[in-house]
Amino acid sequence: MNELDTIVQDAQAAFAAAPGPADLENAKAVFLGKTGRITELMKGMAALSVEEKKSRGAAINIAKQSIEAALTERRAALARAELDVQLRAEALDVTLPGRQRGQGGLHPVSLTLERIEAIFASMGFDVADGPEIESDWFNFTALNTPQDHPARSMHDTFYVEGGSAEAPNLLRTHTSPMQIRYAVQHVKKYSAATGAFATALFSGDMPEIRVIAPGRTYRVDSDATHSPMFHQCEGLWVGENVSFKDLKYVFTNFCRTFFESDDLVLRFRPSFFPFTEPSAEIDIQFQSGPLSGRWLEVAGSGQVHPNVIRNMGLDPEKYIGFAFGMGPDRLTMLRYGVNDLRLFFDGDIRFLSQFQA
Ligand code: PHE
């Protein structure tokens, strides 16, 4: 093998052995650099004759071109390899699931309220909303609870600006003011034709009042089962012939539907509220499950007091009915087995997200 072939082979071997671009450029210098092997051969031509220079020069050029070709090829190979490494490092796995946006959902108490509304709507009840800042009249006086009535002390609340000294505004302590608000609107509507409402208690004909009023209520109270803000849902059914029997039927039916349990037992325990007479606390008892056998209070109720019927603008000789007020927070705790009410209002997403379907 002649000298030039050897140099070309050496160059090809050196280039192939270069692991990276910098090594390749160093290897190139060994052959094509200022003192490289090809360059040295060219320098050596000075001593040759013109004829010899021609043939020798052509041979060296061919060798040089081969070396340059090998160099170009190796450069391209190294560049490709580098790109491959980079692509592999930055590889995206397009088959991975995308990052999901957290999905919002309803608060467990809202889920309960929706459930309550749906069940009562199925029994022909309207759903009404009322103000949380209430006047003393609607919250107490109209509900047969005058200024110095002792029952007011159980309803200590937050008084807010506005109203008068005798009748201040306050954060409603229960949803019962909605009994008056809703009934007055209803009676106004149906007595408008006769104008009777303005002058006397209405004793004409009108459709029955059948409504629930869920919402936020407030009291100065705070422990594991009481929160200064809590929820209530009022129920009111007034007509010409609505009795305690109807209350029992409606509420029993509601509880059994709400808890999806037919063997739920209800107890109407005599109690006192100024705005109902007679009055009862409603307790429920599960016949199976973790709470089996315990009596749990879920609502206050009673037959609407004649004074309250009067404040609705109705003649108590003709109209009669029942009311109840239940605690949706309590119902939510029972339904989901939660034992600390405060968890509902701490806003901890780890707790709240467990209630999403
Ligand atoms: N408003 C009463 C309470 O908060 C509950 C109630 C409502 C009782 C309606 C009787 C009738 O304790």
pLDDT tens figures, 34-50 = 998 999 888 888 888 88
What is the C-alpha to C-alpha distance for residues 23 and 9, in angstroms, rounded to an integer? 17
Q: Same structural domain for residues 231 and 148?
A: yes
Q: Same structural domain for residues 204 and 312?
A: yes
Q: Is residue 338 part of a domain?
A: yes
Q: How many domains does the chain have?
A: 2
Shortest-distance Cα residue to atom 12 of ligand 1: 300
Strands (DSSP E) found in the chain: 126-127, 133-135, 159-163, 168-171, 209-218, 229-239, 265-273, 276-285, 295-304, 320-326
Q: Is residue 100 part of a domain?
A: no
List beta partners, residue 304.
276
For the cut 70, the answer to whether the pLDDT of residue 274 exceeds it is: yes
302 CB near ligand 1 (under 6 Å)? yes
Closest atom of ligand 1 relative to the 154 alpha carbon: 12
Q: Is residue 307 part of a domain?
A: yes
Q: Is residue 97 part of a domain?
A: no
Q: Same structural domain for residues 125 and 72?
A: no
Q: Same structural domain for residues 194 and 311?
A: yes
Q: Same structural domain for residues 272 and 344?
A: yes
CATH number for the domain that contains residue 347: 3.30.930.10
> Are 316 and 306 in contact, with CB atoms under 8 Å apart?
yes
For the cut 80, the answer to whether the pLDDT of residue 152 exceeds it is: yes
For the cut 70, the answer to whether the pLDDT of residue 208 exceeds it is: yes
Q: Same structural domain for residues 149 and 265?
A: yes
Q: Same structural domain for residues 8 and 114?
A: no
- Domain encompassing residue 85: 3-89
Q: Same structural domain for residues 65 and 185?
A: no
For the cut 90, the answer to whether the pLDDT of residue 129 exceeds it is: yes
Strands (DSSP E) found in 52-176: 126-127, 133-135, 159-163, 168-171
Taking the centre of ligand 1 as the mean of its atom positions, its distance from the CA of residue 176, in whole angstroms, is 6
Question: pTM for the complete prediction?
Answer: 0.72
In order of 93, 164, 171, 204, 216, the CA distances from 139 in angstroms are 63, 14, 9, 27, 13
